[in-house]
Structure formats: structure tokens, C-alpha cells
Amino acid sequence: MSKPAFSFEFFPAKTEVGHEKLLSTFDELNELSPAYFSVTYGAGGSTRDRTLDIVKALIGRSDTPITPHISCIGDNKSQIAELLELYQSLGINRLVALRGDLPSGQVGMGELPFAVDLVRFIREHSGEHFNIEVAAYPEMHPQARSFMFDIDNLVNKYNAGANAAITQFFYNADSYLYLRDALEQRGIDTTKNPLVAGIMPITNSSNLIRFADSCGADIPRYLRRQLSDFGDDKKAIREFGFDVVYRLCERLIAEGVPAMHFYSMNKVEPNKRLVEALGLVA
């Protein structure tokens, strides 16, 4: 059985101390030889400058591909075209294309209201230069009108030119497998256009629950109850969380997952521990 590829996500730090810590984290995780690192992009481009700063800094530290997130909501076509040209000039050939969140107080969705529109625009503007990854939701996007509508929307993003999709984090492997099978039934060859599993390590119960509630990800009842029982025992939470995520990844690997994208939260551990324990490091 071949080993799945793996990658890590960073978010732009708000302070100089955070920036330096992120660079140190990058150096340690980069020693594991991931496929790439992605860098998030705030609502309506609110972290645009910080995202660019991180992208440029990471490009200068390693040959490992850096993959910026790019969102369309709140930006016009000329702004997005400028950003695409900048990334191309920096030698970047991979993007994560997202709708993004509407900035607080802004009215209207802009010229490219949905991720599928952004994917089409990138293809129209840049041809096949970029490998485009989009978002997928094994447990349905919280704003989708139905589960089938959400799957159809993902199919449309693939058909518009997306090369792959990265899922929202999940803890029920069957939700990922159901989505993968549904894509195949709708004509998406997931061996050529992979469905990458988004993996969220568990280190802090309150943060995890807040993230899950905000993005519509499900935390199984047994997991919520166990985390609640641990209270403020951080060590117990970390060890239990590691075991849960390790078992999830083992199941996904056994089912042939092509790649896993770890939401690192700008931390070395437990991401490094998981990758090593799963035998993903060459």
C-alpha cells in the first residue's frame, strides 16, 4: 500500500513574535518533507499583506512549494488578477481557491460571488499555470440548502477547473468515504482529481468546539463527552486527542486516502508526532 502525501496549513501571525515562531515551526515541519505548505487568507482579503509576507518569507527558506489561499468574496476581478500575476511572478504554481467570508459591514458579494466563479476566472486569466485546490465539506457546508446541493456544488468546482479538493476537518471517516463515493458516482475520477482529507489535531477542547461550531463540522457525542470529562487536564486531552486522530488517519489510509492536509494551528506538535507515528515520513 502506497503512503498518502501530506501537507500543512499555516495562518498569518498577527505579531512579530508570532511571525518568528511561525518561521521556526516551518523549519521543523519542513524537515518531514511535506508535499507543500498552505497559507490562509482572511475574510475579504483582510490578511492580504500578512499572507503575502508569510508566503514570500517561506519561499525564501525552502524549495518546498508554498500554496497561498485566495478568496473572491469582497474582491473585484482586477484585484484578483493582480494577485494571480504576483503569485505567478514569485514562481507559485498552486493555489487554494475559496469563496471566503464577507467582511463585517460589507454589503454585496462582489463580481465573483462563489468559489466556482473564482476557479473559472483563474482558468480564464492564467490558463493551466496553477494547480487549483478547492474546499469540500464531508458534513455539508453550513450555508448549503441541502446535502445533495452541496455535493453538486463541489462537482461544479471540479468541472470548472479545480484539480483537487481539501475537506473541512471531520472525525467520522464514513463522512469522507461517502463524499468520495458520491463524487465518483457523479463522474469525478478521484484518482486524477483527489479528495484530500483535512485533519485537525486535538489539543484544546474549547478551541476545537468553537472551530467546529463556526464551520459546521461535527464532533461526535462520545468525543465531546470525553473532552468535557477531562476538564482542564491538558495532558489527558492531548493524549486522548492524539489517539482519536491517529485512529482516524489509520482508517483513512486503509481506505486509500490519497493525501492528508493537517491544520497545523502554527504548531509543531502534535502534527509532527502524527506524521511520524503514521509512517508517512520517508
Residues assigned a catalytic role: 9
Q: CB neighbours (10 Å) of residue 83?
A: 19
Bridge partners, 185 (sequence order): none
Tell me the backbone φ, ψ of residue 114, rounded to 5 degrees.
-130, 160
- Amino acid code (one letter) for 25: T
Hey, is 2 helix, strand or coil?
A: coil
Peptide bond just before 65 cis, omega within 30 deg: no
**Inter-residue contact 175 to 139 (CB < 8 Å):** yes
With beta carbons less than 8 A apart as the criterion, state whether 205 and 237 touch.
yes
**Which residues 6+ apart lie within 8 Å of 14 measured at CB?**
50
Amino acid type, 164: A
Alpha helices by DSSP H, 11-75: 16-30, 48-59
